[in-house]
Every structure is written in structure tokens, then in C-alpha cells.
Amino acid sequence: MTLHIKPATNADIQKLPDICYATIRRCYPTIIGADTVETYTKSGAVPSYFSQNKDTTLCLYSDDQLIGAGTYRDNRVDLMMIHHQMHRSGAGSRLLAALEDILLKTHKRLTLDCFTNNLQAMNFYQKHGWKPVRQFQDEYDIHYTVLEKSTPPA
């Protein structure tokens, strides 16, 4: 398996919702509830999000297969999604490192939000040096943890 990362193309933007939906439907019902998952996947938010954020989306490929993407905004990793079949393969680590490299060129402190109950993701980010700094819940009563990572002292 050869992993490579490239900026999103229009063709990628068309394919990414299917990857997201597969992972959301497989992994998120126990985290945010099955009803919330189905409402979200039917809302059109995912294709709209990627269309609006194409210029700040990196796509992750395994050989020639699109397997995930990450977006960034200001000083934050705004979204990371890896096809559930590629979890624990090193793909997420590779994508996170690429996003961090871009953001750390212009920011000393990075941030991201993670579902508090997504223990696999929380452990993943903490393994990569991210520190939980606060929690909040949204209007749908979903709990999030904000994590931060700073540049190492010189």
C-alpha cells in the first residue's frame, strides 16, 4: 500500500461524500445516535461542505484509490475522514501530519474538535501530541472536545 496526498480536484469532491457516508454510518451511530446519523447523511451537508472547502481539502490515496480527506481553516484541522476500512492502517497519521505541516507554517497553535465519545479518535489525536483543552455541546446535545497542539519550543 502506497499512500499519497494531493490537493482535492473537482472529481475528488464528487467522490468524497460516499467515503464519508460509509464511515459515518459504520462508526458514528454509537457516538452521536443512529437518528442523528441518518438525518445528517440525508441533509446534503457533506457534499456542500466539500464543495465550499475544495481549496483547503487534501485527499488521501492508497495507490490509486481515494480513501479519505482532511480540510483546514485558519489554525484548525476542520475535518478528517478516513474510510472505516482504512482505520488503524497508518493512513490517518499520514493525513494528519500533512495537515499539521501546512498549518504550522503560519500558526503556532493548532486546534480541532472531536466527538467526546469517539474514543478511538480521541486516543488517535492524543497519541499524535494533541491535548484536550475544553468541552462543549452543540444545539443537538452532541458533546465535543477541543484539542490543541502547539509548535515545540525552539
pLDDT tens digits in sequence order for the chain, 154 residues long? 799 999 999 999 999 999 999 999 999 999 999 999 999 999 999 999 999 999 999 999 999 999 999 999 999 999 999 999 999 999 999 999 999 999 999 999 999 999 999 999 999 999 999 999 999 999 989 999 999 999 866 5
Q: Which CATH number belongs to the domain containing residue 104 in this structure?
A: 3.40.630.30
Give me the domain span that covers residue 96. Answer: 3-150
User: What's the DSSP call for residue 138?
Assistant: -
Beta strands in the chain (DSSP E): 3-7, 57-62, 65-73, 76-82, 109-115, 131-137, 143-150
- The dihedrals phi and psi of 76, each to the nearest 5 degrees, come to -125, 145
Tally the domains of the chain: 1
* pTM, full prediction: 0.93
